[in-house]
Copies of this chain bind each other. A is one copy, B any other.
Amino acid sequence: MSSAFYDSLMSKFKELAMIGSLEGVLNWDSETTLPYNGVEHRTKQVIFLNDLKQKTWGSKEFGDLLQSNLKDETLNDFEKRNLELINREFLRRQKLPPDLMSKLMGQSKKTNEIWKRAKSKNQFSLVLPDLEKLFDLNNQVAVKLAELYGLDDPYDALISTRDYGFSVSKISSIFEENRKFLVPMVKNMSEKSESLDKSFLVREISKEQKQKLAETTVEFFKYKSKSDEHAVIGEVEHPLTIGCGPKDIRVTVKYEKWEKVLFSASHEVGHGIHGWNRNQEWNGLPVNSYNWPSLGECNSRYTENKIGKSREFWEYYYPTFQEVTKGKFSDIGLDQFYQVINRVEPGISRMKADEVTYGLHIIIRFEIERELFAGKVELKDLPQVWNDKYEQYLGVEVPDDTRGVLQDLHWYNVYWAYFQGYALGDIMGSQLHGHMVSQNPGWADSVRNGDFSPVYNYFVDNIYSVGAMFDPLDLIKNVTGEELTTTHFHNYLSAKYENMF
């Protein structure tokens, strides 16, 4: 039974969520539009909103309200969950000194800018001093969180904060199972992929055609936020999805090679449908405000790969693809096309990696992070460690830092302990896919006919609308009836690739 205390606390939290949505608009604008002369003031705007949030989180009134609520035994499960989510964040913020957090924020912005330069100049050493400062600040945060959670390993504490319920040891064992499965499969399938005629991949199409490909792809995935008057597929340097309001969640695309445009659009729209299918009655509440890398990337990698690279989807979409590209690929049959977009090709780029090698890219990053936080690797040795692991796990040689250790923005932007989410997401997505198939035996025919509804509705009902009511491992168990397991992921890949080439 909701109380006046509870309602007051939730109304305070809704203000925090509102500020979050304003941060979303600033973020969208920074990524898509902000002119150079606006950067300085934009930083001040971001700090202003952050201070505004901190003012609420740090106020005696908020703390007292929270404590009163935590003692209230009349609350129902839904209310208790909202409290639990607030309390987690409250404890985290209480533990972390505001000046440390603003130093971290400032250093993160600075390092991110320098990373861009270092990447364009192919010089890791340029960003190293700032990366060291950033890592040190972030490590201080991690140490404090480890104290809070009673954990020995600061990296474990970061993982716990990002992907609640996971631990370093659990992820290590999952990834070890994955590595054992993936390495031989990569070897086998990449050999078979070698003989494919992939030459059509480098054919160029116009920007307008790429835009049309992105639009028709996201339309299939029920990207409904688009009105006739307004473009809401943003053009950015690094594709991402940005929430500006409960129903206003915008995907972005970089108009690079057409293959990348297609699959990055289907990746981002996965974040989109997750976002705008949350339960609208819960807007502004904690259950609609929190998310985890694993579950978030589960949705985006699901639409990108399980659907976006499925035979079923391409049986439907290939005529559209041919029409949009106006005969440029008229000599390529669906079979060849399907094989080529699913080729297995050990490479140096995570973003361009296929479904099979992808997990190995993540394992490399996870292991490096684990060793960095354990003090077993130093940041100055990152390029060497990186290149060695690419040689060892994927058998490829990294030609330079731009395409190596500088390729991803995460580490230069405080996204430590984030990468695991992409691979855990693949595993979760496979388990959900298996369950979805058992519930909707007709899904494949629907997709072949251009109807994404059965898949969409399954995810809306079981995942999207559930918000953060459950932590990721609990959610998977609740929905599928099984603990998280790599079995479905491995079975899915085996079945998909069995007769592929």
List the interface of chain A (C-beta within 8 A of B): 15, 18, 21-22, 25-26, 28-29, 32-38, 40-42, 44-45, 48-49, 224-227, 229-232, 234, 237, 244-248, 250, 276
Q: How far is the CB of A22 from chain B (nearest CB, A)?
A: 6
| B230 and A34 within 8 A (CB) | yes
Listed A/B pairs (17) with beta-carbon separation below 8 Å: A21-B45, A22-B45, A25-B45, A28-B29, A29-B29, A29-B244, A33-B250, A34-B230, A35-B225, A35-B226, A35-B227, A37-B248, A38-B247, A38-B248, A41-B246, A41-B247, A41-B248
Residues of B with C-beta under 8 A to A227: 35-37
| A22 and B21 within 8 A (CB) | no
Residues of B with C-beta under 8 A to A45: 18, 21-22, 25, 245
A14 to B318, CA, bound (A): 56
**Residue ID in chain B nearest A43 by CB atoms:** B245
- A32, A227, A245 interface centre (most CB from chain B within 10 Å): A245
Residues of B with C-beta under 8 A to A18: 44-45, 48
Q: How far is the CB of A121 from chain B (nearest CB, A)?
A: 17
| B35 and A21 within 8 A (CB) | no
Residues of B with C-beta under 8 A to A35: 225-227, 230, 232, 248, 250
Residues of B with C-beta under 8 A to A237: 229
Residues of B with C-beta under 8 A to A29: 25, 28-29, 244
A182 to B224, CA, bound (A): 52
**Residue ID in chain B nearest A283 by CB atoms:** B41
Known: A35-B226, A230-B33, A230-B34. A248 touches B25 (CB 8 A): no
A34 to B229, CA, bound (A): 9
Residues of B with C-beta under 8 A to A248: 34-35, 37-38, 41-42
| B44 and A247 within 8 A (CB) | no
A347 to B461, CA, bound (A): 58
Residues of B with C-beta under 8 A to A37: 224-225, 227, 247-248, 276
A231 to B232, CA, bound (A): 15
A257 to B383, CA, bound (A): 55
A40 to B245, CA, bound (A): 9
Q: How far is the CB of A35 from chain B (nearest CB, A)?
A: 4
A14 to B246, CA, bound (A): 30
A32 to B18, CA, bound (A): 21
A415 to B34, CA, bound (A): 29
9 residue pairs, one from A and one from B, having the closest CB atoms: A38-B248, A41-B245, A36-B227, A37-B247, A35-B225, A35-B232, A37-B225, A38-B245, A18-B48
